[in-house]
Amino acid sequence: FMSKEDNVYECYKHVLQNVFSLHCDDISTVNLDDIKEMERALADPGWIKAFTDGFQNKKICRRTLKDISRKLQQFVWQLIYMVRTHHGQEGEKVTEEMYQELFVLFAKTFGLHILSGGNVNQYGLIAGESGRFVTIPDAVICHPMTEEDQICAVVQVTECQLNGDNSIQRSSSPDHVGGDLQSKHVGQSLGVLPYSVFGERGMFGILVDGTNVNISVFKTDSSYYQKLYNGCLPKNEASVTFSKQYNILRKDGRTECIQTFLHLKKLLEYLTIKSFP
């Protein structure tokens, strides 16, 4: 017997490995014809029936697969546009904003509500007499139906540059987050901390470097922010940890993200006592 959660996980795993079967390292190695074929496969309802036949709870499975397919198609359309841009006329380039949109659409595949770009508010951190420090995250993952902001993760997109051979040059080495990037990321987490769904005890974060993703966890106690507000600089009372890097163009990278992103949605619903589609 499989629980509803297990059914949902297996649905995501099947789609992200076998229907959307892309397995590349970066945009420069994506074949446009292959990605178009995957888009056509997602739009064909035949695979949904074939996969659900092996499940006891066919209704949940069918509904989940239809939802994944519909949302993932938007991710694929953005990817097609980026691949065309990369292989297009001289002078055109894939921008940081395109990578940000690609990640946003990927996150939305898991039912997450994510605000990005001009939809993101300006957040401020008051630190004693030093003044007010302002931050605007690239995106935030939050609950869509609460009266006040209830944020569970801040998203930071790092710059990606092309090498001379048109391959992607990462701003950080795999599985490593540099000190400057850590500082900026923690600063964004602190600025948003008063609006955290976890109170002022912490915040998840997501670093997006091209198609690579790191998950961060910022943890502290409830008095940490108040001490900063009063002008004190607490020592050894907060910690930040980073996951290994996941590449959403790779099968293994997408699969590794499934549980994390599904759990973020569950946390938002549980802590606010409000579910959302």
* Residues contacting residue 54 through CB under 8 Å, at least 6 positions apart: none
pLDDT of residue 166: 44
* Residues contacting residue 193 through CB under 8 Å, at least 6 positions apart: 125, 200, 202, 203, 225
In a domain, 97, yes or no: yes
For residues 266 and 204, the answer to whether their CB atoms sit within 8 Å is no
pLDDT digit string (tens) for the chain, length 277 residues: 678 899 999 999 999 999 999 999 999 999 999 999 999 999 999 999 989 987 888 999 999 999 999 999 999 999 999 999 998 866 688 999 999 999 999 999 999 999 999 999 999 777 766 667 788 999 999 999 999 999 999 999 986 554 444 444 444 444 566 777 788 888 899 889 999 999 889 999 999 999 999 999 999 887 887 887 787 877 767 889 999 999 999 999 999 999 999 999 999 999 999 999 8
Measured CA to CA in angstroms, residue 85 lies from 27, 79, 115 at distances of: 10, 10, 25
Measured CA to CA in angstroms, residue 272 lies from 149, 150, 173, 261, 269 at distances of: 11, 8, 37, 17, 5
pLDDT of residue 96: 93
pLDDT of residue 158: 85
What gap in Å lies between CA 220 and CA 237, rounded to an integer? Answer: 6
In a domain, 67, yes or no: yes
Residue at token pair 């239809």: 66
pLDDT of residue 229: 77
pLDDT of residue 228: 79
pLDDT of residue 53: 86
The answer to pTM > 0.95 is no
In a domain, 277, yes or no: no
Q: Looking at the 3D structure of the chain, how many domains does it have?
A: 1
Token duo for residue 231: 């002008």
pLDDT of residue 84: 94
pLDDT of residue 70: 96
pLDDT of residue 181: 78
pLDDT of residue 129: 67
Token duo for residue 135: 């931050």
Provide the domain limits for residue 89: 4-272
What gap in Å lies between CA 139 and CA 142, rounded to an integer? Answer: 10
